[in-house]
A = this chain, B = another copy of it.
Amino acid sequence: MTDQGRHFTLKNDAGVQLANGGLLEHYELAVCTYGALNENADNAILICHALTGNQFVSGTDPSTGKPGWWSQYVGPGKAIDTNRFFVVGVNNLGGCSGSTGPSSINPATGSAYLNDFPSLRVRDWVATQHWLMTQLNIKKWYAVVGGSLGGMQAMRWCVDFPEAVERCVVIASATSLTAQNIAFNELARSAISKDPRFADGKYASQNTLPEDGLSLARMIGHVTYLSGTGMNAKFGRSLQRGSFELGNSDAVQFEVESYLQYQGAKFATRFDANSYILFTRVLDYFDLGRDFGGDVSKAFTQCDARFLVIGFSTDWRFSAQRSEEITDALIRATRHVSYACIDSEHGHDAFLIANTRYEALLRSFIEGEPKHG
């Protein structure tokens, strides 16, 4: 029996003071919870989403009609068992799945924020999630869990609210992006901003949509989320149409080309271009060591949580080496940390895909009782 979750929106009229100095006076968060909060309110797990995720971590995502993005690992009897845990999914501020974002109406002007939506940092998300926590009457998260950009939120939680996190799971993440990663994000942003229908972010007010640009942005991202090995295994040099027979002039298309075009087009109908640009900038701006003279281990010295850090063998967008850097910094900070690199051919996408060892590891960490506890 799947738990379809309880989907609701919470409104904060006290606003949030943002890292960039601005005050967002009103905002809403779209939330989906699975399972039930127990009497002691000590079984709540926050799942932070990545670039294109949302609040629908399990059950069915109503926007796609497909299983929630992490339903492989969250649900009744799953590694994060909603029969036992109260799981909270939240669409990040600035998103396009129900929380206040660029497409929302700015009460001050009566029209949509569009590209005037304030620039955000990971810490702003954590601040709004902390407000959400109080609204849900949760004093301390049993665990905060996230992959990729979600892992950045999980780490930031432990630094900014150490008393509020008992366990932290950081998957396929990093304490800051590399120059190459920023470059890939800039390619995606350029794909969007160079689309004339983007109209400098004002597309919604002009009844256009930068579908071509958003589609290409997704295609660029998608290639970097897969591994070379995985792509060779899945597509190789197989042809969608045409032939290389000598004398044959039919146009040739490789399977991998049509696959990427399909993925891009599908994404362009469901995601907001301003949110995509905003979120890639949040990724670029994140730097956990920045407030600590560049020493990430000093940041982790603030933390009380027990950590599980997971990398994947063929992930090159957030390589296992980046997870090892997180682990090493936690060790230097003498925190409680376990690390594993999971063999997978699925590149960065591995954090979303079924994998027995990964599942067992998550379950063991989430369900296991700490000896010192």
Cβ of B285 and Cβ of A180 under 8 Å apart? no
Q: Quick one: closest B residue to A17, CB to CB? A: B247
Known A-B contacts A244-B290, A249-B21, A285-B252; the reply to A191 vs B179 at CB < 8 A is no
Bound: A228/B315 CA distance, A: 13
A36 interfacial by beta-carbon distance below 8 Å: no
Q: Is the CB of A223 within 8 A of B256?
A: no
Tell me which residues from 263 to 302 in chain A have a Cβ below 8 Å from any Cβ of chain B. 264, 281, 284-285, 287, 290
A22 within 8 A of B: yes
Give the residues in chain B near A216, CB-CB below 8 Å.
Answer: 187, 190-191, 194, 216
With CB as the reference atom, state the residue of chain B lying closest to A216: B190
Residues in A8-47 with C-beta less than 8 Å from chain B: 19-22
Copies in the complex: 2
Which residues of B sit under 8 angstroms from A51, Cβ to Cβ? Answer: none
Interface presence of A136 (CB below 8 A): no
Q: Which residues of B contact A252 (CB under 8 A)?
A: 119, 281, 284-285
Q: Which of the four size classes fits the interface of chain A?
A: 35 or more
Considering the complex, give the chain B residue whose CB is closest to the CB of A190: B216
Q: Which of A176, A177, A223, A264 has the most CB of B within 10 A?
A: A223
Which residues of the other chain, B, contact A257 by a CB distance below 8 angstroms? 182-183, 186
User: In the complex the two chains form, what is the Cα distance from A254 to B287 in whole Å?
Assistant: 13
User: Contact between B247 and A190 (Cβ–Cβ < 8 Å)?
Assistant: no
Bound Cα distance A216, B260 (Å): 17
Q: Measured between alpha carbons, how far is A133 from B193 in the docked complex, in Å?
A: 47
Additional A-B contacts beyond A178-B232, A179-B234 (13; CB < 8 A): A19-B247, A20-B248, A119-B252, A177-B237, A179-B236, A180-B226, A180-B231, A182-B237, A182-B256, A190-B216, A194-B212, A196-B196, A220-B220
A94: CB under 8 A from chain B?
Answer: no
Minimum distance in angstroms from A221 CB to a CB of chain B: 10
Q: Do A256 and B195 have beta carbons less than 8 Å apart?
A: no
A146 within 8 A of B: no
Interface assignment of A246: CB less than 8 Å from any CB of chain B: yes
Please give, as numbers and ranges, the residues of chain B lying within 8 Å of A179 by CB-CB distance: 228, 231-232, 234-237, 254, 256
